[in-house]
Amino acid sequence: MLFNSAIFLVFFLCVYVLYWFVFKKYRLWILLLSGCVFYGWWDWRFLLLLFFTSGIDFLTAKKIHHEERPHVARRWLIVSVTVNLITLGFFKYYNFFAASFVKLLGLFHLHPSFTTVHVILPVGISFYTFQSIAYVTDVYRRRITPEHSALHYFAFICFFPQMVAGPIERAKKLLPQFHQPKMFSRRYFESGINLVLYGFFQKIVIADNLALIVDQIHGQLNNYTASVLILGILAFALQIYADFCGYSNIARGCAQLLGFKLVKNFYFPYFACSLQQFWTRWHISLSSWFRDYVYIPLGGNRAKPARRSFNLLFTFLVSGLWHGANFTFVLWGFFHGLALIIEKSVSKRSFSKLLHGIIVFAIVSVLFTLFRSPNLHHFFEYLAALLTNSGSQGINSAIAAFESRYLFLLPLFAFIVFEILKYNKSGLGQYRYNYLTNALVILFILLFAVFENAPQFIYFQF
């Protein structure tokens, strides 16, 4: 079930009414069942997988907590993590590694007879798997106690606003909220509505209109000059931000309308003045997950410089592979890790913050082209066209790229202004600013929203 669909609006309205006004004593059951309906809408078989891996995590966390022998507790942790990673690896990476192995053998003129299996990727498996691993690991580290109520635990796992594409919530923050009595809050209601509206504006107005432009440019690389190809890079950087930040805002808004508070997943990442700062602002829940459960266990910043560089590069390679079974994501992770290593070794006093910010945005935007490219060949073809496609038809080429979408520049400009105003915390007062923003957002949605053949959320593929 997609957030940007009519069926979701009907679904959420029904859940909201039942949750607050009909079955007040059974709110946890409403959350659990609604999560099952929401997730099972794609394929009910995915629910069996979700409950299988989550059930193992629920039981092993209890075993770990009650086990006084450290080596035995560690074995239970290994069981839980192994089951999760094998499940994730099979569904997400089997075809990728099998096909890569066949190509490798082909270099030696060996042609194995087996073929890859068509494995359907369960939606959101990367997100709920990492959330479960964090839960069991935190129990093992004695940071939290295990949840003893199966109802509370599975309501936490199946909390539909964030189960498909995050934020990746830590049990320490979200699980206790399922034990707290819920009272209707006008403040939560208003802030939830604000987040949902702005999230829809980001997705169906900004991201989806930009997607039309980006798809056209990527589909006809040789028809555009270098200036338009640069426009394509910038457009996709804004598209992926508006798309994923929009999803996170809708998720946070829906959660607040139900009385829950989720972590902020984005904090103006394109205003960052360093790559390190960028990664504290972009997809914060995932970045902090890799920091706490991969980078720090490897030794983190405590290690010697060479080892620290290895830890950083390895963490980003794993992060790239997490995003998708494609060498484009692996290369994206490698380049980001390498760029961070270089950044740490270069003095930051030689340039102004503005120039640092421009450099960071340029690096991030170019590397995001790997996300949009279906394969490495397309990515290098894009870079080659960027360096070789010159000529005097830059303006005409840009006009052709926009076609009949000139008026879209109005909400795009408004979106950039909104982001700058929020970042600077200036402009109108908070109360008036929210209502003025909402009025403009609703107007832009009515005039510019993409409903027909609308692209799904980009991070659903991860």
Distance CA(127)–CA(323), nearest Å, equals 10
Tell me which residue has tokens 């099998």: 98
**Can you tell me the distance from the alpha carbon of 160 to that of 8, in angstroms, rounded to the nearest whole number?**
11
Of 409, 418, 411, 412, the C-alpha closest to 436 is: 418
Phi, psi (5° rounding) for residue 351?
Answer: -125, 160
Q: C-alpha distances in angstroms, 275 versus 4, 243, 357, 412?
A: 32, 21, 9, 25
From CA 77, how far away is CA 71, in angstroms rounded? 10
| Burial label, 254 (beta-carbon count in 10 A; 0-12, 13-18, 19+) | buried
- Please tell me which residue in 218, 323, 336, 356 is annotated as part of the active site: 323
Q: In this structure, what DSSP letter does residue 256 have?
A: H
Respond yes or no: is residue 65 known to be catalytic: no
Distances, alpha carbon 27 to alpha carbons 17, 31, 35, 96, 384, in Å: 11, 6, 12, 42, 56
Separation CA 282–CA 266 (nearest Å): 5
Within 13 Å, how many C-alpha atoms sit on residue 366's CB side? 12
- What gap in Å lies between CA 186 and CA 205, rounded to an integer? 28
Chain centroid to CA 82: 23
Buried b / exposed e across 14-29, counting CB within 10 Å, b at 16+?
A: ebeebbbeeeeeebbe
Ramachandran quadrant class, 351 (left: phi over 0; alpha: psi -120 to 50; beta: rest): beta
Q: Are 183 and 389 in contact (CB under 8 A)?
A: no
Asked whether the beta carbons of 397 and 225 are under 8 A apart, the reply is: yes
What positions carry a catalytic annotation?
323
